[in-house]
Amino acid sequence: MRTYLLESKYELFKALRLPAYSLPTILFPVVFYVFFGVMFGGRSVGSVKMAEYLIATYGAFGVIGASLFGFGVSVAIERGQGWLEAKRTTPMPVSAYFFAKTVMAMTFSSAIIVLLFTMGTLFSGVQLAPMRALALFGVLVSGSITFCALGLCVAFIAGPNSAAPIVNLIYLPMAFLSGLWIPVQMLPKAVQKIALWLPPYHYSQLALKVIGADRGGSALVHVAAMVAFTVLFTALAYIGYRRDEGKMYG
């Protein structure tokens, strides 16, 4: 238990002492939100203010980024540099290592969402009931798990140097096509069909459901899709991990 806590604590210290990593991760989605929130500030999507709608979608965007980079790229780098192997010579449970990375991704996610709420409330007239805000926060943060799994998958399949470009190649197009930058109903019909197969779409629809701005799909379907993606990514990551071991251990 102590190992899990210490591992998480120092994972956070490690990241916080690297502002070149932590600041962009946190500020990127917030800057995006401020930019679009101001631009479309007065508009609304259905009965919901655009500024509130965008908290859900940019919140999702931020969480996905924090998870893919914080989990995927950092594991890929430590794996490539031999640090993960050094830890594997100790009796450390590997789960403690992954647990700490998840805690880190969720902490960064929380910071992003709190900042988005703050900006929205101060500058764009966002008025969410506390319970609703809390529910939105909960949905957004828990979605981090799916994208940590995707990050893990990339970490064990890609090399240490290619992990970051591969993550960007997945992250940005997937976010756009799922309607995280521009509401999905404003995208071309063909894109809307593709979105159904992307995890951020189901994730953002769940977040939007909390504030009554989703497209009316069943929450159960979205949750099932998220769970299925998580299982798929974890399985792929596990195959990559075994192959990694097999290359060495086989």
Partner 1 sequence: MRSTAIPLHPNAQPPAQFRAIRKQFDAVDALRGVDLTIRPGELVALLGANGAGKTTAVRILLGLIAPTSGEARVFGGNPRDAASRTRVGAMLQIARVPETLRVREHIELFSSYYPTPMPLAEVIEAAGLHGLENRLYGQLSGGQQKRVLFALAICGNPDVLVLDEPTTGLDVESRRALWKQIRAFIARGRSVLLTTHYLAEAEALADRVIVLHRGVIVAEGTPQQIKGDSATLEDAFIEMVS
Interface residues with partner 1 (CB under 8 A)?
A: 2-3, 6-7, 10, 13-14, 17-18, 78, 80-83, 85-86, 88-92, 248-250
Phi, psi at residue 45, to the nearest 5°? -110, 110
Indicate the Cα dihedral angle 99, 57, 116, 6, nearest 10°: 0
Least distance between partner 1 and beta carbon 18 (Å) = 5
Nearer Cβ to partner 1 (79/202): 79
Nearer Cβ to partner 1 (91/130): 91
Strand partners, 44: 49
Least distance between partner 1 and beta carbon 104 (Å) = 13
DSSP type of residue 49? E
Give Cβ neighbours of residue 239 (< 8 Å, ≥ 6 apart): none
CA distance 74 to 154: 11
Nearer Cβ to partner 1 (6/227): 6
What Cα–Cα distance (Å) separates residue 244 from each residue in 237, 239, 240?
10, 8, 6
Least distance between partner 1 and beta carbon 87 (Å) = 8
Secondary element (H or E) of residue 44? strand 44-45
Least distance between partner 1 and beta carbon 86 (Å) = 5
Within 13 Å of residue 156, how many CA atoms lie on the same side as its CB?
Answer: 22
Largest Cα–Cα distance in the chain? 61
Nearer Cβ to partner 1 (44/95): 95
DSSP type of residue 186? G
Least distance between partner 1 and beta carbon 23 (Å) = 14
Nearer Cβ to partner 1 (11/52): 11
Within 13 Å of residue 121, how many CA atoms lie on the same side as its CB?
Answer: 11
Nearer Cβ to partner 1 (7/52): 7
Least distance between partner 1 and beta carbon 129 (Å) = 40
DSSP type of residue 180? S
